[in-house]
Structure 1
Amino acid sequence: MSDVTHLTLPTWVGGSLSIRFIYLVNNTSFRLTECPNKGPAIPLYLGADLFSNTDIRTENHPRHHAKFAKKGLATKLQFSSVFRFHGLKVTTSNNSLWFYSVQGLFRIAFELYRKQDQLALLENFQDVWKSHINDNLLQMGYSLSQQLDFAVFTKEPKSDHFMPLQAAATPSEPGHNSKDHDYCFHSQPCTETDPSPDIFHTARQQIQKLSDKLLQIQPEQLKTVQMLLDVTDCYVQGDLTENKVTEAVTVLLQAKQLDGVYSSSLLGCIGRWLGQQFYEANSSISQRVEGFKMQHIDRISDLPPAEELTQELFPEAMRSLLLHWMGLSEDISAEKRHSEYPILLLILEFANHNLITGVAHVLYSSLICKC
C-alpha cells in the first residue's frame, strides 16, 4: 500500500486574518518554503482562507473562484493522491484546492475586506506584490505530483507569527474513509506531535517577560492576568470547560473599551463566529419547528404567545442577542419586553428560514413577490 505524505501549509497571520499559502515551482511541482537559491517560485494563497473573511456564503465560493480563474488570478491545484493536508478536509477522489496569486489576494481584499484588513495586507504583502508584478497569469489549473522541500520553520517577512511546515510520510491506514477529507476550512487543525524548539523558546521568553513585569501590574489588571493564567493552565491540562472560556471572554471584553461599532475588528470577528454557530444550528432548529407544527396542526391559528414560542423553538443565545440589541435588557419593564416579543419572534423566523406564524408567512410571500 502506498505511503501518504501529510502536509501542513505555512500560514501568514495578521490581525483578524489567517491565510495559508504554497509556492508553485512549475506546472507539476510545489514547495512549502521559499528557497530563492533554488529558482523562482510563485506564492499562492488558499482561496478558502481569503473568502472566510467575507460575507460570501461557502456554497457560493466555487462560482467566485471560477470567475477569478478566468482572469488568471486564481487556479485549482490538483494534488497527487499521496498528499494529505492537516487542518483541511479534501475528498480523496478530487484532492484539489483553489489558490490565488498575490494580485488576486489584493483584488479580493479591496473588493470585500474591511479597511483595517486591507491595510494589514498592504503593509505585509507589498514587497511580495512588487517582486511578482511581472509574473504570468495563472492557468486554470495545475496537476502537482512533486514536493520539493521538507519540514523546516520559517518566518514570513513582517510577520510575528511562526509558521509550521511539516511533511511526514506515513502508511495509509486500513479502513480510511474519504469522508474525513471533505474540503472544509473550518475543520479542526491537527495536533503536532513534534513541535519545534523555537516554539518553546518563544513561550519561555514571553513567560519570563510577564514575570518581570508582575510588580508593575495594577491590582485590577492582576486579576485579569490571574484568570487568563488559570484558563491557560486548564487548557494545558486538558480540562478546559465552557464556563472557563465564558469567564475569560467576558473579562477580556470588559477589559478594553471598543473603538466603535463601525471600526471594531473584535465585533467583526465575534459577529462572524456567532453567525457561523447560528447557521450550523439551523438543521436542529428546523427539526424542532417541524415537531412543533405537527403537535399544533389542529390549532395553527391559535398558537401560544410569542414569548413562549421563542423560548420553545429558538436557542437562548439568539434570544439574548436580539433582546439586548433591541434595548430590551433585564432592566426594562416586563410589560415592555412582552410587547416587543412578536417582533423578536418574526426576526428569528426569518433569520432561521423557519416560518411559524401567519404574520411571517404573509410578509414572506409579500417580499418574494417584490423580488
Structure 2
Amino acid sequence: MSSCSTIHLTLPQWDGGARKIRFIHLVNLTSFRLTECPNKGPVVPLYLGADLFSNTDIRTENHPRHHAKFAKKGFATKIFFSSAFRFHGLKVPTASNSLWFYSVQGLFRVAFEMYNKQEQLAVLENFQDVWKSQINDSPLKMSYSLSVQLDFALSSSLHDTESRVELSQPQQCQVVRDSVEVYGSDTGDTSADHDYCSFPKQSLPTERSRLISTVRQKLHSLDEKLSSETQSYTEQLETILLLLENIVRYVNGNLEEKDVTETVLALLKAKDWGCVYSSSLLCGIGCWLGQQFHAANSSISQKVEGFKVQHIEQISDLPPAEELATELFPEAMQTLLLHWMGLTEESTLERRHSEYPILLLILEFANHNLITGVAHVLYSSLICK
C-alpha cells in the first residue's frame, strides 16, 4: 500500500446546544474512523478531551494534569497521530501531534463531576445508548499511536454522479512513519505548531459549494412548507420575514446592532421557552452576557478611578446612588438589574430611589470596584468571614 500525502481531517461533532463534543471511532490499536462503521463492526467511540473540559472551572493549563488523572483509571487516553494528519479547527503541537480522548464512560465521569444539571441531563439523554452498547469495553490504554484512517466518504451525497462513483469506495490510508518527512517536509512544519484552523486553499471551493448547496436546500424546503395547503404558518410569518430580511442584510454586509436586537427579541418572544430553573436558553444568554460584562471590567475600573481622583475631597458626600450608577456603570447592567428587581420605568419614583442604593451596591461588587462607604464596610466584613 502506498503512502499518502498530508491528510486533512474534520472531526465529526455532537451538538448539544452550548456544548459541542468532537469524536472519533477507534477501530484497533493503529486504526480509526471518523464515520460510523458501515457494517457496525466493533469500534470504540472516543470523545475529544478539550471539548469535554471547555466551559468548566478547570483552567486550560491544568487540563493535561486532569487528563492524566482520568487516564490512570482507564477513562482517557493520549492518542499520537501520524504527523501526516492535520486537524481542521484544532491547533496541535507539531512535535507530538497528539490529542487527549475519553471513552463514553469517561465522558459521563467528566459530565457528572464538572457540568451543571442541565448539561448532565443532555449527556444522559444523548449518550445513554452509546454507554449501554460500550458497557463491556475494556479500560483504555494510556496511549495509542494511530496511523491508519478507515472511512467511507462523508460528502458523496453532495457531489455530482461522477464524484459519487469515485467516492463510493472506502478510503484507506496507511501512513508510514519512516517516510513522513518525504511528503511532510514543509519548512514551517518542523519547528512550529501546525495551523489546523484552515484547510488548504484547494479544498475551499469544495467546502463553499457544499455550504451553498445546503443553504439552498434549506430555503427550498422552507418554500415548500410555506406553500403547503395542509398547514398554516400565519403566526410565524412575521418572525420568518424578519429573520430572512436580516439574513439578506448579513449577506450584503449591512447588518446593524438594532437589526440583531429585533431578531433576538423576536425569537425570545416566539414561544414560552420553559422553566427558569431548567432553561438552556437562559443559561446560554446568561453565559454570553456575563462574558460581555466581564470583558468590560478594565474600562469600568478606569472610569471609577478617574471618578475617585476627581471627587477625592468629596468622597464622603457623593451624588445620589442613581446618578453614580448612571455615570460609572454600563446602561445594560443597570437595565438587567432594574428589571430583575422589578423596577421598570413605570415604577414609582419613590420606590426607585429606595431601591437604587441596593442596585449600586450590586454593581460595585459585581465589577470589583468599590465606591461608596457602604460597599467598603460590607466588603471588609464579608472577606473577614
Q: Which residue of 2 aligns with 1:35?
A: 37
The answer to whether the 8 A contact 2:226-2:233 is kept is: no
Structure number with larger C-alpha Rg: 2
Specify the SS of the correspondent of 1:262: helix
State the alpha-carbon separation in 2 of the partners of residues 75 and 369 from structure 1. Answer: 44
Q: Give unpaired runs (5+ residues) of structure 1.
A: 156-168, 184-189
Matches within 5 A, 1:98-177: 98-113=100-115, 117-142=119-144, 147-149=149-151, 152-153=154-155
State the alpha-carbon separation in 1 of the partners of residues 186 and 353 from structure 2. Answer: 59
CA RMSD across the alignment: 4.2
Superposed displacement of residue 250, structure 1:
0.6
Superposed displacement of residue 331, structure 1:
1.1
Code of the aligned partner of 2:344: S
- Counterpart of 2:226 (choices 205, 211, 214) is 211
- Counterpart of 1:355 (choices 362, 370, 378) is 370
State the alpha-carbon separation in 2 of the partners of residues 288 and 76 from structure 1. Answer: 47
Specify the SS of the correspondent of 1:152: coil
Superposed displacement of residue 302, structure 1:
4.1
- Counterpart of 1:310 (choices 303, 307, 325) is 325
Indicate the larger mover: 245-254 or 137-146: 137-146
Code of the aligned partner of 1:109: A
Superposed displacement of residue 117, structure 1:
4.6
Matches within 5 A, 1:67-106: 67-77=69-79, 83-89=85-91, 96-106=98-108
Indicate the larger mover: 71-80 or 86-95: 86-95
Would you say 1:195 and 2:197 are equivalent positions? no
TM-score (norm 1): 0.74
- Counterpart of 1:260 (choices 264, 270, 275) is 275
Code of the aligned partner of 2:12: P
* Greater RCO structure (CA 8 Å; 6+ sep): 1
Superposed displacement of residue 271, structure 1:
1.7
State the alpha-carbon separation in 2 of the partners of residues 180 and 310 from structure 1. Answer: 48
Query: Residue deviations 1:140-192, cap 9 Å, x none?
Result: 4555566555862499xxxxxxxxxxxxx9997979x9799699xxxxxx994
TM-score (norm 2): 0.72
The answer to whether the 8 A contact 2:84-2:184 is kept is: no
- Counterpart of 1:239 (choices 244, 247, 254) is 254
Distance 1:10 1:182, change over 3 A: closer
Query: Residue deviations 1:203-256, cap 9 Å, x none?
Result: 255223333248853544321221122123223334332222211111111121
Distance 1:43 1:353, change over 3 A: farther
Q: Give unpaired runs (5+ residues) of structure 2.
A: 158-182, 198-203
Superposed displacement of residue 105, structure 1:
1.8
Distance 1:121 1:59, change over 3 A: closer
Superposed displacement of residue 10, structure 1:
0.9
Superposed displacement of residue 60, structure 1:
8.2
